[in-house]
Structure 1
Amino acid sequence: MKKSVIEAMKARRSIRSYSKRPMHHAAEGQLKDYLRHIEHPFDARIRVELIKTGEYPGNHRLGTYGVIKNAQAFFAVCCDRSSFAEEALGYAFEKVVLKSTQLGLGTCWIGGTFNKGAFADAVQLKADEMLPIVSPVGQASAKPSMVSKTMSRVTKQRSRKPFETIFFSDNWNIPLTQKSAGDFGIPLEMVRLAPSSRNCQPWQVLIAPEGAHFYRMAPRSLNRIDLGIALCHFDLACQELGIDGGLKIMPDAIAHTPENGFYTMSWIRKEA
């Protein structure tokens, strides 16, 4: 039975060791169909290409410097250079990751440790595009490699910040608990479970009567991608639970930006 989106968010893991068996044709076909029309709420151009390593004709190996073992295929994720391109990439590609999880396939966000020249060549990267992310995709190995085990320990893969340290109610002096979050309890928990670079969870969310305001608490470009992933989890969870609303920029929310933070975007309830 196909997992729901929320079940896929809970089940997703970073997989670094893969079976040498090629991806099943049915799963590959569904992924290729999905990649043709990835919907996201941003005014940015996102392109995700599925590359099978055995079919890549380039002179350079599609490498990840030993981080990934036995991957038979990769996603290469490109975006334009518009204002919210990184956030759009995070949102759109996390949808692909969740779709892969629903198909029983493993993935792993990789933002630095890959041969950018080889991947850029493989996707024929355009002059106005960036290629900040790749991910292996395939069946997980029955036995994780030593590198995989080490990386999981170093990144504390399943560790997450306490709910009340990243979510707040009305102002930054009132921590929010999942029990007191009402219908936002599950969507916020899905944000808490979302993957992020170095598992840093660089976000804080302020809940107000009109909705949820998202702030980035780290300056790196990859952290903008992280915020896109968090927004994806919140938005898709709300959709699945029938909570009406959507993402938009709220200028008034900028005034509430916490110290050393950056306002990103808000999810606003639909008026009854």
Structure 2
Amino acid sequence: MAEHTQLIDAINIRTSVRAYDKDPIDEDTARQLSMTLDAVNMLGGLNMQLILNQPAVFTAANESGHLTNAANLIAVVGPKDDPEARERAGFYGERAVLTATLRGLGTLWVGGSWDRAEAAKHCRITKSEELYLGIVIGHPEHHLTYTSTSYAELVERQRTHRPTKSYEQFTAGMTDEERTAAPDWFRAGVEAAMKAPSGMNRQPITFTYNTADDTAAAHIDPASDNGVPFNDLGIAKLHFQIGAGAGDWAWGDGGLFLHK
């Protein structure tokens, strides 16, 4: 598993990739990814699986130009009708995304740009489980050029590749005075969460800091019409935790973060 500083680097360069080269994922990289999935599945009580060389899952998206050469995915599988499991899937699925980023691969969380039924044919799904979402994975288009791009250039690409809400919007439940009083680890956590992917890029998660007990909390914006809020909550919590440096989250909307 990647070291903490490597994960911060991954957050700083990760972007959502829609265009891929046709080159297959090599066996060693696939093995490393599968090992990561085995580890996070154990931690999260999930059944995420690496599915390779199945372009039929993305036929419509590839033909429409919404995606290019998409053929591989991480199938995000977990218990049925369990919002907490969906949150854990976001948290641990994004952990796999960051590992893939460090291996020079591109990724994209998908909920609609794929054939879910076709994907399910290639998964191991028990009667008590369901296929939540998919994560497209593969070599980014022109990946040899990508792998020779400097870290600083990749950071700048991440910073400018999409619009993002402001720090103030991500801490909408706080006053300016409360923001000023919050510790550096809180701001670092929020800034890492600002770089997290979310459904339709709606960024429906906000954070607050409580001075009295030195905790942070993550909230789903009740005004958001995002269809996968618990998945986005898990993803944002992971980014926050990595940015903050050390600590643990309680699951759930409003769950607290204890910094260490």
| Structure-1-length-normalised TM-score | 0.76
Determine helix, strand or coil for the equivalent of 1:21. Answer: coil
Stretches of structure 2 that go unaligned for 5 or more consecutive residues are 144-159
Q: Identify which range, 62-71 or 209-218, moves more after superposition.
A: 62-71
Q: Residues of 2 paired with 1:113 and 1:206: CA distance?
A: 33
Q: Are the counterparts in 1 of residues 192 and 239 from structure 2 also a CA contact under 8 Å?
A: yes
1:234 to 231, 240, 247: 240
Cα separation, partners in 2 of 1:175 and 1:90, compared to 1, 3 Å: farther
Code of the residue aligned with 1:134 in structure 2: it is G
2:164 corresponds to which of 160, 165, 168: 160
CA distance, structure 2, for counterparts of residue 178 and residue 113 of structure 1: 41
**1:247/1:70 Cα in 2 relative to 1: closer, same or farther (>3 Å)?**
same
- Which residue is equivalent to 1:265? 255
Write the letter of the residue equivalent to 2:57: L
Distance across 2 between alignment mates of 1:268 and 1:41: 19
In structure 1, the residue matched to 2:26 is 24
Residues 49-104 of structure 1, C-alpha deviation per residue, up to 9 Å, x if partnerless?
Answer: 111125x9xxxx21262232212421111111334011111001000000000100
Number of residue-to-residue matches in the alignment: 233
- Deviations along 1:197-238, whole A, 9 cap, x unmatched? 111110111111321111101354401110110011112333
Post-superposition shift, 1:175? 6.8
Return closer, same or farther for 1:17/1:181 CA change in 2, 3 Å cut-off. Answer: same
Change (3 A) 1:74 1:87: same
Matches within 5 A, 1:93-112: 93-112=93-112
Change in Cα spacing, 1:227 to 1:76, as seen in structure 2 (3 Å) is same
**Once the two structures are superposed, what CA deviation does each residue of 1:156-182 show, in whole Å capped at 9, x if it has no partner?**
9521111012215xx634476589642
Match of 1:222 in 2: 228
State the partner residue of 2:139: 139
Distance change (3 Å), C-alpha of 1:39 and 1:227: same
Shift of 1:109: 0.5
Aligned partners of 1:5 and 1:236 also within 8 Å: yes
CA distance in 1, matches of 2:200, 2:53: 26
The corresponding residue for 1:257 is none
Aligned: 1:86 with 2:86? yes
Question: What are the superposed Cα offsets for residues 93-130 of structure 1, whole Å, 9 maximum, x if unpaired?
Answer: 00000000010000000012211111111103222212
Q: What is the CA–CA distance in structure 2 between the aligned matches of 1:181 and 1:199, rounded to whole Å?
A: 27
Aligned positions of 1:1-272 closer than 5 A: 4-38=6-40, 45-53=45-53, 61-63=56-58, 65-66=60-61, 67-81=66-80, 82-142=82-142, 158-167=162-171, 172-174=174-176, 181-209=183-211, 210-217=214-221, 218=224, 220-238=226-244, 241=245, 243=246, 245-248=247-250, 263-270=253-260
Change in CA separation of 1:127 and 1:64 when aligned onto 2, cut-off 3 Å:
farther
Q: Which moved more, 1:101-110 or 1:218-227?
A: 218-227
Bigger mean CA offset, 20-29 vs 107-116: 20-29
**Could you report, residue by residue, the CA deviation over 1:233-259 in whole angstroms, capped at 9, with x for unpaired residues?**
112333xx3x4x31126xxxxxxxxxx
Normalised by the size of structure 2, how large is the TM-score?
A: 0.79
Distance 2:232 2:177 in 1: 22
> Whose helix proportion is higher, 1 or 2?
2
The whole-number CA distance in structure 1 between the counterparts of 2:177 and 2:132 is 34
- The answer on whether the counterparts of 2:199 and 2:226 sit within 8 Å (CA) in structure 1 is no
| Equivalent residues of 1:187, 1:234 under 8 A apart | yes
Sort the Cα spacing of 1:39 and 1:75 in 2 relative to 1 into closer, same or farther, 3 A. Answer: closer
Against the structure 1 CA distance between its residues 159 and 179, is the aligned structure 2 distance closer, same or farther, given a 3 Å change threshold?
farther
RMSD across aligned positions (CA): 2.8
